[in-house]
Structure 1
Amino acid sequence: MRSRKGWGLSKTILDEAAAQIAAGRFSAALAATDPLLSRPDAIPRTFALHAAALKGLGRRGEAAEVDREAVRRFPQSRIAWHNLGATLGDLGRATEAIAALETAFRLGLDAPETWLVQGRALVAAGRLDEGEAALGQALRRRPAELAWSAELANLVWMRRGDLSEALAVLAAAERAGAPGARVRMAQADLMRAAGQHQQAWALLRAAADQAPGDGPLGLAASQAAMALGLAAEAETLARRAYALAPGEPAVLNQLCIVALAQGRPSEALEAALSGLKRAPANQSLWGWAAVAARQAGDPLHATLCDHDGLVRIYDLPTPEGWNDMAGFLGDLDRALSAQHLYVREPTNQSVRQGSQISHLLTGSDDPAIQAAFRQFAPAIDAYVQALGPGADPLRSRNTGAHQIHGAWSVLLGPGGSHSNHLHMEGWISSVFYVATPRVIEGSARHEGWLSFGEPPIALDPPCPPERFVEPRPGRLVLFPSYMWHGVIPFSTDGRRLTMAFDVTPA
């Protein structure tokens, strides 16, 4: 029989662990819950908090094992099955996630969060009609949840390319009580994806004028102005945001951009470095600091943008189980192409005239996709080992241990490209070429090639690419996540199919 004293102590520990997780102190929560897992009077919440702490530390695989033990110990716990499904979904193991969540539903769970993670898993499994319906069910239960509405609107946009239908999803959220200012920001994202940059700017400018004390809204309006080259308007809005939150890294990042756009690189560099004091791993601030240093003639640029030393090319060998690379790439092409089910690119991404698979590909059970990640591992190890220690923003994070943080695929058709961008969530980023149009091989104009060093705004003096890499099937390219990179548009027939992933320190 459970001791009342023991139960009271466990409850206190679990409450404290929950508070630690809420505060981001995941290691403390992990240490607190670990001794409780083996106790005979452990409850489902013990396992849920331990798994949440592991996920907070980026140890999602271990969290899944804890969630599996929870459903073994408590097979009638609806929440335990939900937690297992959510963790499996985070790992990209969509089919397993769907099965776990269906068990939660059979046990009587009808929470909006469960419909949400089920919708995401169904989408990742390619069951788009069912996934869209499940996301709709989540919103019927919580109609004012704007983040979920934006997710459904993005899915509608990618599936059908219908801007009006996607915007209607956001309008429904606003009618249900979602904050109007945040709805405008989500609407503007969709408009930009549809090429309606002027309309997005007008929408955000009007909203920002109506709510001058809303810093995030003003910052979004500044970014929309900058996308149209309206640097003076962008600076006015950025300075308004700065007055509201002078130490906010995102605001300092925008001040750096507008100063660069108006020919003040030293001021831009100062803003970026100020932001980095608050957020030393912020990849966007490092990327813009590199541009500002280049324009100002500061030696920091050479440190950050050693394109010869930090951009590394690996032409990978044929994986075990295949006779040649062509056969392997053909199987990989078929596995990835089967998942490219969208007609438009996602919002707030760099893809132009193409589609992107955004769920975590490391969770795939396809043999070719699994083999690809096995082939990537030695190259990643070699890159990290070659970096060694150092004080720069890449080497200073090098613990020697690493993990894949995100993994996706992009399919570009004729005219396709990537706008110049960087990877905010990464440390080391990548591209692996599965298929490329033949005509881009050796292209004098670098059509379809990977370019490095050019920011996404026009500057005076110009800031053109500093290095190009020719895409070849079977080639993996690794580089720092803060480096600006893009794909030169190609106009010929053919497909450009890639895999990509980010690596973070472990």
Structure 2
Amino acid sequence: MSQQTGQDWGARAAALKASGDLAGAADAYAAAARARPTSAVAEHNLAATLGDLGDHAGALAATKRAFGKGGDAPETWLVHARSLQALGEVTAAEAAFEEAIRRRADYAVAHRDLAQLRWMRSGEPSDALRSLNTAPDTAELALVRATVLTSVGNPAEARAVIEKALRRAPGDLALRLTAAAQAERGGDVVAQLAHATAALRLAPGSIDAGRAAVEALLHAGRLVEAAQLAERVVAAAPDDQAAIALMATAWRLVGDPRHAALCEDKALISRRMLPVPAGWESREAFLEELAEALTALHGWRSHPLGQSVRHGSQTQVDLTRVETPVIRALFATLPVLIDAHIVALGSGDDPVRRRIGGGWRFAGAWSIRLYPGGFHTDHVHPQGWLSSAFYVSLPQAVGREPEGWLAFGRPGIATTPRLAPFRRLQPAPGMLALFPSYLWHGTELFTGDEPRLTVAFDIVPT
């Protein structure tokens, strides 16, 4: 490649990042930093991209170079804080988030990350809300406050925060959508319909507003209208897994036979046992070592904000990028099971099979450690294609149906009438369950005194 200026490298990097080529963008940003050796901005851009790639050590080094070159932007402190957190330097990460907020008092993303870090560290609502209690009263920060309040178990106060913000900014789409979701959780179908309708009027082409309106119609029992609107939303966003889930729910409620083909086809859900990875004598030995490695990553007392986990913790790094040998061995072995699942699906024009093509890739991976009394609320993965649950270690309670079992088909939203799961799977150590990302799924509550340790990931076509 011919010699280019630093500015040209920056433009090339931005184009590569926009196209999804993060690795190429990181190389170009590194070249831009070399071409502009005094530029803090170039180092920041490199750091942010390395962080997106999961190279947190590299990102941390780049932020330090940015600081050394005079950079002091809140955005750089945010990247710095996230990298410290990912590398397990939690106290330093908390201080860095505070530095980002000190430089921009209304920095909503930094407030959210800091609140989540404190909440996961202590499980104390007062810790989660500490920085927010003195933060400016903006619409963006109202959304953060509401997320935190809901996650720590105070939905009524969260709803009051959003209602107050809406009185000041009735045309804010994000506030309307949040208000609709809060009304649904509170069982107030009249308010939910009003907020969802207002959101759809504000943004008739918004997929988010369309989904909110479908959810409100399902809650109100206006099922035919819900099905019709859901079909229009899916037509506009055919790979949106949340929209497909709502359409499937409406079809099931109205007795449309298309639901069975979309959700109850037995080939769509598989369970297979992991082969013994190379280098281990048995599956049991591998799982024991894997459990130790994953447990070391679970240094949290509570679940992340806005996630499905209840009474447990979730790792905060992409496991596909972790260098621990036993974790690398897991992700080197899983493709055998994933490929077998895809081959068994065959061909078709449904939302899963029509996307089978040249290959697939992991799109994020994490571990969940549920404590006794823990569960996953029913949910879907809107940006996925296939989702998973891999069982590492399990409590004895899973022998008592349905404790700790994986449930499919029970909506994570209010519907009239309510729906029960249409299928449950009993987990076993070393078992991988694969299923469409649009299927409602959750983990049933379990009792006893032993935790439940799993790995989960999404995959998407390439």
TM-score above 0.5: yes
Query: Residue 352 of structure 1 contacts residue 418 of structure 1 at CA under 8 Å; is this kept in 2?
Result: yes
Q: Residue 39 in 1 paired to residue 13 in 2?
A: no
- Rounded to whole Å, the distance in 2 between the matches of 1:264 and 1:436 is 41
What is the aligned partner in structure 1 of residue 452 from structure 2?
496
- Rounded to whole Å, the distance in 1 between the matches of 2:189 and 2:213 is 10
What is the aligned partner in structure 2 of residue 312 from structure 1?
270
- Rounded to whole Å, the distance in 1 between the matches of 2:58 and 2:430 is 30
- Rounded to whole Å, the distance in 1 between the matches of 2:294 and 2:461 is 27
Bigger drift between 396-405 and 59-68 goes to 59-68
Query: Residue 146 of structure 1 contacts residue 170 of structure 1 at CA under 8 Å; is this kept in 2?
Result: no
**Per-residue Cα deviation, 1:395-443 (whole angstroms, up to 9, x for no partner):** 23333322111111111001000000001121111111111112313x2
- Rounded to whole Å, the distance in 2 between the matches of 1:88 and 1:385 is 34
Name the CA shift for 1:324/1:72 in 2 (closer, same or farther; >3 Å). farther
Q: Residue 149 in 1 paired to residue 111 in 2?
A: yes
**Per-residue Cα deviation, 1:16-47 (whole angstroms, up to 9, x for no partner):** xxxxxxxxxxxxxxxxxxxxxx222x123333
Query: Residue 44 of structure 1 contacts residue 77 of structure 1 at CA under 8 Å; is this kept in 2?
Result: no
What is the aligned partner in structure 2 of residue 197 from structure 1?
155
Give the AA of the match of 1:182.
Answer: E
Q: Residue 238 in 1 paired to residue 201 in 2?
A: no
Unaligned segments of structure 1, at least 5 residues? 1-37
Identical residues among aligned pairs (%): 41
What is the aligned partner in structure 1 of residue 48 from structure 2?
86
- Rounded to whole Å, the distance in 1 between the matches of 2:288 and 2:359 is 32
Cα distance, 1:63 vs. partner? 3.4
Cα distance, 1:459 vs. partner? 3.5
TM-score of the aligned structures, taking structure 2 as reference length? 0.93
Name the CA shift for 1:458/1:81 in 2 (closer, same or farther; >3 Å). closer
Query: Residue 290 of structure 2 contacts residue 392 of structure 2 at CA under 8 Å; is this kept in 1?
Result: yes
- Rounded to whole Å, the distance in 1 between the matches of 2:175 and 2:76 is 30
Bigger drift between 245-254 and 74-83 goes to 74-83
- Rounded to whole Å, the distance in 1 between the matches of 2:335 and 2:378 is 26
What is the aligned partner in structure 2 of residue 505 from structure 1?
461
- Rounded to whole Å, the distance in 1 between the matches of 2:330 and 2:30 is 27
**Per-residue Cα deviation, 1:245-298 (whole angstroms, up to 9, x for no partner):** 223211221111121112221111112122223222211111111000001111
- Rounded to whole Å, the distance in 2 between the matches of 1:307 and 1:353 is 32
Alignment of 1:122-271 (within 5 A): 122-174=84-136, 179=138, 181-271=139-229
Query: Residue 145 of structure 1 contacts residue 173 of structure 1 at CA under 8 Å; is this kept in 2?
Result: no
Unaligned segments of structure 2, at least 5 residues? none
Residue 453 of structure 1: which of 409, 425, 432 is its match? 409
- Rounded to whole Å, the distance in 1 between the matches of 2:363 and 2:128 is 29
Give the AA of the match of 1:48.
Answer: G
Query: Over the residues paired in the alignment, what is the CA RMSD in angstroms?
Result: 2.1
Residue 384 of structure 2: which of 408, 411, 426 is its match? 426
What is the aligned partner in structure 1 of residue 71 from structure 2?
109
- Rounded to whole Å, the distance in 1 between the matches of 2:11 and 2:317 is 25
What is the aligned partner in structure 1 of residue 286 from structure 2?
328
Bigger drift between 314-323 and 486-495 goes to 314-323
Name the CA shift for 1:101/1:213 in 2 (closer, same or farther; >3 Å). closer
Alignment of 1:54-73 (within 5 A): 54-70=16-32
Cα distance, 1:490 vs. partner? 0.4
Would you say how many aligned residue pairs link Structure 1 and Structure 2? 462
- Rounded to whole Å, the distance in 2 between the matches of 1:358 and 1:325 is 26
Bigger drift between 201-210 and 137-146 goes to 201-210
Give the AA of the match of 2:244.
Answer: W
Query: Residue 307 of structure 1 contacts residue 467 of structure 1 at CA under 8 Å; is this kept in 2?
Result: no
Alignment of 1:277-288 (within 5 A): 277-288=235-246
Name the CA shift for 1:458/1:65 in 2 (closer, same or farther; >3 Å). same
What is the aligned partner in structure 1 of residue 261 from structure 2?
303
Name the CA shift for 1:491/1:120 in 2 (closer, same or farther; >3 Å). same
Name the CA shift for 1:46/1:404 in 2 (closer, same or farther; >3 Å). farther
Residue 346 of structure 1: which of 266, 282, 304 is its match? 304
TM-score of the aligned structures, taking structure 1 as reference length? 0.86
Cα distance, 1:334 vs. partner? 1.7
Give the AA of the match of 2:428.
Answer: R
- Rounded to whole Å, the distance in 2 between the matches of 1:267 and 1:439 is 42
Q: Secondary structure at the match of 1:471?
A: coil
